[in-house]
Chain A
Amino acid sequence: MAIATEASNNSLISVRDLRVWFELKRWGMIHAGYVKAVDGVDFDLHPGEAIGIVGESGCGKTTLMRTILGLIQPENGKIIFNGGDISKLDDKEMQTYRSEVGYVQQDPYGALPPFMDLQRILEEPMIIHGIKSKKERMERIKDVLREIKMTPVEDFLDKFPHMLSGGQQQRAVIARAMVLEPKLLVADEPVSMLDASVRVEILRLMQDLQTSHNLAVLYITHDLSTVRYFTERIFVMYAGKLVEKAKVDELIREPQHPYTQALMTATPDPDYENALTYKQVPPGEPPSLVNPPPGCRYHPRCPHMIEGLCDVEDPPRFEPTPHHFNWCWLYDEGQKWS
C-alpha cells in the first residue's frame, strides 16, 4: 500500500485512544452535547489473529467497527492500518484500504441485493476495484466459491439470494467479503440470525479462511460462548470503553472485571439445574452515553463499588497477571479481592 509509515510494529491494525462522538443538536442547530459511543479504546490486532469484541447492544461495538471500516470519522485518536493512519487517506487510498478490509454483515438476507444473482454480487466488488478482465473475475469467483464450499460452483452462480438457505446466504456474504483477498475481516454478529446447527459450520468456515489466508478477524458479538471457540483473544466492552482484554482461556477461567463476571454468570449452558435457581443479574441497565456516570461507568451496577474512588475517578489500565488487562480499581496496587 502506498501509505506513509507512521507506526513501526508488527501489528496489522492499531487503534489508539479512539473516540467517536456523535453531536446532539436541539432545533437542528444548537449544540446539546455528545453521544460518546466509543470513548478511548486502544488495541492491536496482529496478522492472522482472531479477536472477539463482546458487549451488550449500545456499548459501542458496532460504532467501533464502522469506524474501523472508515464509515465514520473519529472525534479523536488514530486507527493505523499497515503502518498508515486511515483518517489521512485520500479517496484513492481509501479505496485501496477498503479492498483490504472485508465486511461480513449481521443479516445476510438484508445485506445481499435481491435483484442480483450470485455471480453479479461477487463480481461487483472486483468491477469497482478495477479488475478489468472478465476471465480473471470469473476465475476468482470460482476460487472463492470453492473455498467457501458452495460446490458445484456452476449451480450457484445464477442463484438469487432468496433461492439460498440462511446458511448459504451467509456464505455468500463471506464470499463477497473475501473476493478481493482482504487482510482483515470484520464480522458483525455473523451467526446471530442463523440456526444453532448452522452456526458452527459458518464459524468453522471463517476459522479455516483465517488460517489458510493468514487473515485477521475482528469478530463482534454479544455471545461469549461462540467467541470462546473461534477467537484467540477477547475484549469486553461496556458503555463505550474496554473493561477487560485477555486471552480466551484466561478470560473464561478467571474473569477479572465485575462486568465480565456478570456476563459469565448470566450466559447459560444447557443444563437442567438452570431452571431451579434464579440468576444473579446486576441491577439497572447500561448508562446513557450522553451523560455517562463519572468514574468507572459500571459503578452504579457494580457489587464491589468502592465509594469515593469508583464513582469519582476513571480507572486506568491494570495488569494483575501478564497480558491480562482490566480497567477496574479493585486491581489497584495488588489489592486483589477474592
Chain B
Amino acid sequence: MPENNKLLRVEDLKLYFSTNMGAVQAVDEVNLELGYNEAIVVLGESGCGKTSFARGVLRLLPRNVDTYSGRVYLDNIDIMELNDDQFRRDIRWEQMSMVPQAAMNALNPVLKIGDQVAEPLISHQSMEKEQAWEKAREMVEHVGVPGDFLNRYAFELSGGMRQRVILAMALVTTPLLVFLDEPTSALDVLTQANIFNVLKRLKKELKVSFILITHDVATSSELADRVAVMYAGQIVEVGHASTFFKAPLHPYSEMLMKSVPKLKVEEEPTFITGHPPSLLGPPKGCRFAERCPKRFDKCSQEPPIFMAKGHKVKCWLYE
C-alpha cells in the first residue's frame, strides 16, 4: 500500500443499485484524492451520483446495493477492509461525518438541541452527559450559536441557526473530514454567506477537510480549493479552483459554467440542450458525447483520464 500525504484516496469506487429494470450505475469507477485541511467541491446536476458518491465513501448504503467495490484509503488505512461494526465505531463520525441534504429540517422536534449535539459524543466516545454537553456548548459557540441555545428546541431556531447546529453536530467529535451535501440550498442569500463564513473559519481553525457536494456553481466557489465535476456517475474533470472557475477544460464543465447567471459581470447565460443519459444502461464511450458540441469520431470510445494544464480531464480533446 503506497504511503502518501493524502487524507482520503478513493480508487475505482463503484456503487450500483439494483432495480427491477437492471443495475443503476450511480457511481462508476470514481477516483479522487483529498489532502489534509483541503476543501474539494463535487459539482454536478441532480442524478449525477454525487450524493451516492458520498454515501459510498461513508458506507451509508440502502438495501438495494448491486455492486459496491473499490478502495478507499482514509489516513492511509484501507477502510473498505473494515467490517460494518468497526466502520461504525472507528470511522463514521469519529473520522468522517456528514451533513446530509436538508438536514436542518431533520432535527428532532421533541429533543433539546443540546441532547442532539451531544449524542454522538455519548454514543461514540462513551462520554458522560455533563462533559458531552460542555463539549457541545463549545462547538455550538464555535459555529456562532449562543451556548444557551442548547436548552432550546428546533422550532425556536431560525433556518440559519438550525443549519449551524447541524454543522456543530457533525463537528463535535472533531472528525478529519466532513461531507457537506448541499449545506445551504434551502437558505437565504445572507444566511448562505454567513454559513460559508463559518465554514471558512472552521477550516482555518480546526484544520478540518471538507467535501462539498452541490449543484450551485456560484456558492461552491466560496469554499473550494479544488473542484471535481461529476457527470452521469463519473468524474469528468478535477482541477484547482483558481484555474477551474476561469477556464474549465471539459466541454461539460465549460457549458455548465456558462449556464450560471452572473450578477456582477454582464454575460448572457446559455443552457445545455438535452438530458443526461439514463444510468440504467449508460451509452458506451463518452457519456456527454450526445450533448457535446465538440464531439468527434473518437468520442464513441470511453475516454481515459488525461492530464492537461494541471487538470485531470476525461475527454478525448486533451489526448
A residues touching B (Cβ–Cβ < 8 Å)?
56-57, 165-166, 195-201, 204, 222-226, 228-229, 252, 262-272, 274-275, 278-279, 281-282, 285
CB-defined contacts of B159 to chain A, threshold 8 Å: 57
CA distance A146 to B262 in the complex (A): 30
CA distance A274 to B220 in the complex (A): 9
CA distance A220 to B193 in the complex (A): 21
- Is the contact region of chain B dominated by helix, strand, or loop, or is it mixed? loop
Q: What are the 10 A-B residue pairs with the smallest beta carbon separation, nearest first?
A: A266-B193, A201-B271, A225-B263, A56-B188, A200-B271, A195-B45, A197-B272, A279-B193, A272-B242, A225-B261
Check if B259 sits within 8 Å of A229, measured CB to CB. no
User: Given A197-B45, A228-B261, A228-B263, are A267 and B269 neighbors across the interface (CB < 8 Å)?
Assistant: no
B211 at interface, CB cutoff 8 A: no
Most buried by A among B189, B201, B244: B189
Check if A195 sits within 8 Å of B46, measured CB to CB. yes
CB of A245, distance to nearest CB on chain B (Å)? 18
B residues touching A (Cβ–Cβ < 8 Å)?
39, 45-46, 158-160, 188-194, 196-197, 200-201, 215-225, 241-242, 244-246, 255-257, 259-265, 268-273, 275
Interchain CB contact (< 8 A) of B245 among A57, A199, A229, A272: A272
CA distance A270 to B216 in the complex (A): 9
A264-B264, A281-B193 given. 12 additional CB < 8 A pairs? A56-B191, A165-B275, A199-B259, A223-B189, A225-B261, A268-B221, A270-B220, A272-B221, A275-B39, A275-B224, A279-B193, A279-B196
Check if B270 sits within 8 Å of A200, measured CB to CB. yes
B158's closest neighbor in chain A, by CB?
Answer: A285
CB of A336, distance to nearest CB on chain B (Å)? 22
CB-defined contacts of B225 to chain A, threshold 8 Å: 275
CB-defined contacts of A199 to chain B, threshold 8 Å: 259, 261, 271
CA distance A105 to B37 in the complex (A): 42
CB-defined contacts of A56 to chain B, threshold 8 Å: 188-191
CB-defined contacts of B201 to chain A, threshold 8 Å: 278
Check if B158 sits within 8 Å of A196, measured CB to CB. no
CB of B222, distance to nearest CB on chain A (Å)? 5
Interchain CB contact (< 8 A) of A197 among B39, B189, B264, B271: B271
User: Given A196-B45, A225-B262, A285-B158, are A267 and B189 neighbors across the interface (CB < 8 Å)?
Assistant: yes
Most buried by A among B39, B218, B268, B270: B218
Chain A to chain B contacts (Cβ below 8 Å), 5 pairs: A229-B268, A252-B263, A270-B245, A279-B194, A285-B160
CB of B242, distance to nearest CB on chain A (Å)? 4
CA distance A275 to B222 in the complex (A): 4
Check if B189 sits within 8 Å of A278, measured CB to CB. no
Check if B197 sits within 8 Å of A270, measured CB to CB. no
CB of B47, distance to nearest CB on chain A (Å)? 9
CB-defined contacts of B270 to chain A, threshold 8 Å: 200
A55's closest neighbor in chain B, by CB?
Answer: B188
CB-defined contacts of B257 to chain A, threshold 8 Å: 270
CA distance A285 to B144 in the complex (A): 13
CB-defined contacts of A264 to chain B, threshold 8 Å: 263-264
Check if B256 sits within 8 Å of A197, measured CB to CB. yes
User: Given A166-B46, A204-B271, A272-B245, are A196 and B260 neighbors across the interface (CB < 8 Å)?
Assistant: yes
Check if B259 sits within 8 Å of A271, measured CB to CB. no
A223's closest neighbor in chain B, by CB?
Answer: B189
